[in-house]
Structure 1
Amino acid sequence: MPSSISGPPEAASPDAPPRDEPLRDAALLVVDDAATVRLYYREILGGLGCRVEDAWNGMEGLEKALRAPPRLILVDVNMPGLDGYSMLRKLRQEEALRAVPVITITTEAGAAEASRAYRAGANLYLRKPVRPELLAGLARVLLGMPPA
């Protein structure tokens, strides 16, 4: 089953970090309560030459992002404790994290869920399962990397 994507016209914030920084030392953050999903995304994103950190719920993800702001965040919306929507709202309240691009990835397929994710602060909304080449390509765009 192919994944679907929807996004606002401008996916990356104009206040995003400079795109000419070396990415090999940049951290990407994956927040999902399923260990296998975190490993899957880690493998895909690790191929971009970035360090990939992960967290199992929104609270841990928020704490990690506050300690060391990542260049990109992938977040599931359905998690125990602090869900992805709540995590996004809190992220966007933090000056250091407002410009960090966020991709929500979820099994929720409706337009209402996508709208809720964008209102919370997402840059992109993807439905699971996400094809590796799609995720890698979108991450490259949001990180300002040239196409593969």
Structure 2
Amino acid sequence: MGTRVLVVDDAATVRLFYRGVLTAIGCKVDEAWNGAEGLEKALRDPPDLMLVDVNMPHLDGYGFLRAVRQEPELQAIPAVMISTESTAADAAQAYAVGANMYLHKPVRPERLSGLVRVLLGMPPA
């Protein structure tokens, strides 16, 4: 299990759901409950992929990705923003701060695992 995914979401149930989907396809999962903790963890041990919520305390997902994209060792890591916010403006803002993809919650497990496989170059299920 060499592929590492950092899940940054303030909801424990969402992190648990993502962990279940990701470990089932062979990923190692690290979790952060807000953008500040996520940034600290990403800088200490850069992941292969990041799944990021928008609305979080201390540092939201937009601020997190803005900070990540300013760090040379983190710039190329794919980031998927996953949020309940569903307007075109929300998606546009996510892409403007560096998201590679924007998904709306709730995300079906097969959609999430398929997307992660593609982004990480893993073979299809």
User: If the TM-score is normalised by the length of the shorter chain, which range does it land in?
Assistant: over 0.9
Query: What is the one-letter code of the residue matched to 1:125?
Result: Y
Could you tell me how far apart the structure 2 residues matched to 1:91 and 1:61 are?
A: 10
1:147 Cα deviation after fit: 1.1
Tell me the residue number matched to 1:105: 82
Could you tell me how far apart the structure 2 residues matched to 1:51 and 1:125 are?
A: 22
Tell me the residue number matched to 1:56: 33
Tell me the residue number matched to 1:30: 7
Structure 2: which 5+ residue stretches go unaligned?
A: none
The reply to whether residue 42 of structure 1 matches residue 4 of structure 2 is no
Aligned 1:1-148 pairs, distance under 5 A: 24-148=1-125
1:84 Cα deviation after fit: 0.2
Instruction: List structure 1 runs of 4+ shifted beyond 3 angstroms.
Output: none
Could you tell me how far apart the structure 2 residues matched to 1:87 and 1:68 are?
A: 16
TM-score (norm 2): 0.98
Query: What is the one-letter code of the residue matched to 2:104?
Result: R
Give the greater-gyration-radius structure (CA). 1
Could you tell me how far apart the structure 2 residues matched to 1:76 and 1:92 are?
A: 16
1:119 Cα deviation after fit: 0.3
Could you tell me how far apart the structure 1 residues matched to 2:23 and 2:80 are?
A: 16
Number of residue pairs aligned between Structure 1 and Structure 2: 125
Could you say what the CA RMSD is over the residues aligned between the two structures, in angstroms?
0.6
1:41 Cα deviation after fit: 0.3
Could you tell me how far apart the structure 2 residues matched to 1:89 and 1:120 are?
A: 5
Identity of matched residues, %: 66
TM-score (norm 1): 0.83
Q: Which has the higher contact order (CA 8 A, sep 6+)?
A: 1
